Amino acid sequence: MVRSMPELEARVQERFNLQSANWISYVLDRRNQIPDIADPNLVRDTLVVFLGNLIDGLYFHDKSNAKIIEKAVSMRNTVRERQHHRYDDIVMVLRDIFSKREWTAILIPSGFQESHSVDQLVTSKTFLSNLSRTIKADPHLILHLNEAPQKDFAITDVYPPFHSALSKSTRWPGILLWRRSDEPLFFSLPAEKTEDAIHWVFSRADDLANTPGHLLTHHYLDAFPSCRIHAGSRLTFLHMSDTHIGSKKSFERIIRVKDLLKDYINKNQGDSSVVFLLSGDIMQTPDESNVICANDFYDFLKDLHPFG
């Protein structure tokens, strides 16, 4: 059968980017409801590419079986035919297929010009296919992006492990890896010996069941010292706006904001210098009680800051 040029072009344009990886990770977790779809075209592309990789044996290889591949072909045809609709039924089937995976990983390109050669490697389907064949380990899933992040992108319904990678975006390209209930790990990739570093991480993925993650990270940095980045060389801006202290919703909101900030600082302390930015509207009105609450929030930020 000869495919028409428009059909070939449509295949090329199907995306699986960082937003795709976040969405598929989020919905494959049975604990989460399937969120409203902000970009149905991206979700459609995500499922088509993901199912295509499943059909090609990228996730299962010698453990593949004809029944799963046949099911994946049928689901991909359904997704292609059902434009601008929800795909909850497809997601539920995928949850069953991947329910027994022990760990999940994502190779994250940077989109930076200086990392172009590494980005090409980690977005290469051929490379990932060869890599997957070398992993004789617990059931796992390695998500493969076919494009680097754009300069400006947004992710909604952020899947918890992704916070680790997003907070270290200046260290991309890298590998984000997490087990079912463990803290996620992020391994920055060196410009030299990139393939060695990738194989190092995946050859030890199963060790996480018995080895603390921070110890594995320590061993990785010993093996690839160029990946060490001192906190003083990085600056993170935490930007907040429209707190509207004094409004009806502000009291509940400010408690939530404090919890988020405290959690971020606790998880990333020592990883970067931090600056808080708070732009208007800070208060709903300049009433004395609101000024007191605003000053209290300022004191909270000052106490929370690693250097006061």
Give whole-number Cα distances, 31 to 101, 160, 297, in Å: 15, 12, 34
Q: What confidence score (pLDDT) does residue 1 get?
A: 35
Give whole-number Cα distances, 187 to 39, 111, 142, 146, in Å: 30, 17, 14, 19
Q: Among 36-40, 170-174, 184-188, 213-217, name the one with the lowest average pLDDT.
A: 36-40
In angstroms, the CA 170 to CA 234 distance is 8
Is residue 89 reached through a cis peptide bond, with omega within 30 degrees of 0 on the bond before it? Answer: no
Give whole-number Cα distances, 116 to 14, 113, 120, 154, in Å: 21, 5, 6, 22
What is the percent of the chain with per-residue pLDDT over 90, rounded to a whole number? 45
pTM for the whole thing?
Answer: 0.78
Assign 3-class secondary structure to 182-214: CCCEEEECCCCCHHHHHHHHHHCHHHHHCCCHH
- Whether 6 shows a pLDDT value over 60: the answer reads no
Q: What confidence score (pLDDT) does residue 232 get?
A: 65
Indicate if the alpha-carbon torsion angle 159, 163, 166, 171 is positive or negative.
negative
- Whether 132 shows a pLDDT value over 80: the answer reads yes
Q: What confidence score (pLDDT) does residue 146 get?
A: 92
Q: What confidence score (pLDDT) does residue 168 get?
A: 85
Query: In the numeric block, which tokens belong to residue 224?
Result: 């690839």
Residue 8 pLDDT class (50, 70, 90 cuts):
very low
72-130: pLDDT as tens digits: 999 999 999 988 778 999 999 999 999 988 899 999 999 988 899 999 999 999 999 89
- Indicate the Cα dihedral angle 18, 138, 127, 200, nearest 10°: 90
Give whole-number Cα distances, 196 to 108, 148, 192, 216, 223, in Å: 16, 21, 9, 16, 10
Residue 248 pLDDT class (50, 70, 90 cuts):
confident
Count Cβ atoms below 10 Å from residue 155 Cβ, excluding itself.
Answer: 15
58-68: pLDDT as tens digits: 886 555 578 88
In angstroms, the CA 197 to CA 189 distance is 7
Q: What confidence score (pLDDT) does residue 188 get?
A: 95
Is residue 110 helix, strand or coil?
Answer: coil
